[in-house]
Amino acid sequence: MKSKKVKPASEFRQDPVSGDWILLAPLRGERRKFKGRVKTELSKSKCPFENPSEFGNAPPVLVYQNENKNDWFLQIIPNKYPAVGPGDLIQQKGLHKVQAGVGFHEIVIFRDHNRHLADFTKGEIKKVLLAFQERYKSLAEEKCVEYISIFHNYGEEAGSTVSHPHSQIMALPIVPPDINHSINGSRRYFDKHNKCVHCQTLVQELKEKKRIIYQNKEMIVITPFASRANFEIRIFPKKHFAYFEKIKEQELAYLADALKLAFFKIYKNLKDPAFNFFFHTAPTIKNHDYDHYHWHIEISPKFGIFGGFELGTGLDTISVAPEKAAQILKK
pLDDT digits (tens, 9 = 90+) for 175-232: 988 999 999 999 999 999 999 999 999 999 999 999 999 999 999 999 999 999 999 9
Query: What type of residue is 231?
Result: F
d(Cα 136, Cα 151) in Å, to the nearest integer? 12
For residue 242, pLDDT over 70 is answered with yes
Picking from 295, 315, 294, 297, the residue whose alpha carbon sits closest to that of residue 306 is: 315
For residue 280, pLDDT over 90 is answered with yes
- CB contact set of 93 (below 8 Å; sequence gap of 6+): none
Averaged pLDDT score across all residues of the chain: 88
- CB contact set of 328 (below 8 Å; sequence gap of 6+): 231, 269, 270, 320
Domains annotated for the chain, with CATH where assigned, are: 44-85+92-172 (3.30.428.10), 194-330 (3.30.428.10)
Per-residue confidence at 15, pLDDT binned at 50, 70, 90?
confident
Q: DSSP readout, 193-252? A: HSS-HHHHHHHHHHHH-SSEEEE-SSEEEE--TT-SSTT-EEEEESS--S-GGG--HHHH
Half-sphere exposure of 318 (CA within 13 A, CB side): 25
d(Cα 183, Cα 272) in Å, to the nearest integer? 32
d(Cα 60, Cα 109) in Å, to the nearest integer? 10
Query: What type of residue is 175?
Result: V
User: In angstroms, what CA-CA distances link 65 with 4, 50, 58, 132, 292?
Assistant: 67, 15, 19, 15, 37
Q: Are 61 and 106 in contact (CB under 8 A)?
A: yes
d(Cα 128, Cα 66) in Å, to the nearest integer? 11
Output the pLDDT for position 6. Answer: 59
Q: Are 74 and 110 in contact (CB under 8 A)?
A: yes
Half-sphere exposure of 292 (CA within 13 A, CB side): 18
Q: What is the dihedral of CA 159, 133, 183, 174, to 10 degrees?
A: -70
Picking from 235, 210, 232, the residue whose alpha carbon sits closest to that of residue 223 is: 232
d(Cα 88, Cα 173) in Å, to the nearest integer? 11
More confident residue, 125 or 310: 125
pTM over 0.95: no
Picking from 219, 316, 199, 203, the residue whose alpha carbon sits closest to that of residue 262 is: 219
Q: Are 277 and 298 in contact (CB under 8 A)?
A: yes
Paired strand residues for 110: 74
Write the pLDDT tens digit of every residue in 93-115: 666 666 678 889 999 999 999 88
d(Cα 272, Cα 37) in Å, to the nearest integer? 6
For residue 1, pLDDT over 60 is answered with no
Strands 166-172 and 296-301: unpaired
For residue 29, pLDDT over 60 is answered with no
Q: What is the dihedral of CA 266, 270, 276, 277, to 10 degrees?
A: -20
